Amino acid sequence: MLNRIRNTFKRTWPLIKSLQTGLLLFTGFAGFISARCPYLEAGMVLGLLGSLFLAISGSTILNMVYDKDIDAKMERTCMRPLPAGTVSVREALSLGLALSVLGIGWALTMNLLYGAVVFAGLFFDVVVYTIVLKRRTAWSVVWGGIAGGMPVLAGRVLAVGMVDWVGIALMLAVFFWIPTHILTFSIRHQKDYASAGVPTFPSRCGVKGTQRIIAMSSILASIAIGISAIGIGLTWGYLRVLIVLSVVLFLFAISSMVRPSTRLNFGLFKYASLYMIGTMLIFAIQGI
């Protein structure tokens, strides 16, 4: 019995994209703790992390089910569980639906508005981004960004009981970071996306144009982070660290806009990811 459970877990775990899920989960916690909650307790934190983990994992699995045909055509994704045949469509669909329902249901029992934001994230990700737009327009990344910004907004909503301007700023920070990730991969794997028939910005705007979009998006993300820091009331010590991190991002982004290159773009992508993790960590430490 234990071996069967272990094998099932081993086969299905790659479906949730644990690194991506973990990062979104961390932004949700940072959004929650940014309010300096006076009622921070184990049960509340467990509910936040548990419901977000289930909802995010469920939506990721449902996306994989819907995208199994294009994943099979792309070298980067052809060894994922569904195209590789290690997990059946029926098994993945059942797991994705179960996790999604459990996550949203758990979120709704904690707070109706919080549950609504969690549901909105799943809806934008699975229905709007993946099912409706991904195969039709390169602009689907906008809705992917909105979906990616929902966990941090949800965490803030659970803490303060409403959608406030700080929560919106935090959401926009992640929203503008998402294209840095998606568009960089669309440049690095142009042939894959072309063979799968997925429209991308490099195929519409060219590589250099896309690199400039990535740079501008990174700048906007840092501006949103700065506005969030003011709203949270970041102390001067942490604010100085944030300023240094932001200046480096600005220099990276401006260099990429002036002299776009593949090497510089990938460096910007890596630093922007570290920047997002670092700033969310600062907000979390400040909140504690």
- Domains, the chain, with CATH or none: 13-287 (1.10.357.140)
Q: HSE (CB half, 13 Å, CA atoms) of 74?
A: 21
8 A C-beta contact, residue 47 and residue 175? no
pLDDT at 1 over 90: no
The pLDDT of residue 38 is 52
The pLDDT of residue 67 is 95
pLDDT at 40 over 70: no
CB atoms within 10 A of CB 44: 15
What average pLDDT score do residues 226-235 get? 91
**Mean pLDDT across the chain, nearest whole number?**
91
As given in the structure block, the two tokens for residue 146 are 């909105």
As given in the structure block, the two tokens for residue 231 are 């709203």
Q: How far apart are the C-alpha atoms of 17 and 25, rounded to whole Å?
A: 12
In the structure, what pLDDT confidence band is assigned to residue 268 with cuts at 50, 70 and 90?
confident
As given in the structure block, the two tokens for residue 139 are 């602009």
pTM of the model: 0.93
Ranking 70-79, 96-105, 149-158 by mean pLDDT, the lowest is 70-79
In the structure, what pLDDT confidence band is assigned to residue 281 with cuts at 50, 70 and 90?
very high
What average pLDDT score do residues 149-160 get? 96
What average pLDDT score do residues 154-181 get? 94
Phi/psi zone of residue 28: left (φ > 0), alpha (ψ -120 to 50 degrees), beta? alpha
Q: How far apart are the C-alpha atoms of 274 and 287, rounded to whole Å?
A: 20
What average pLDDT score do residues 128-151 get? 94
Q: How far apart are the C-alpha atoms of 209 and 84, rounded to whole Å?
A: 35
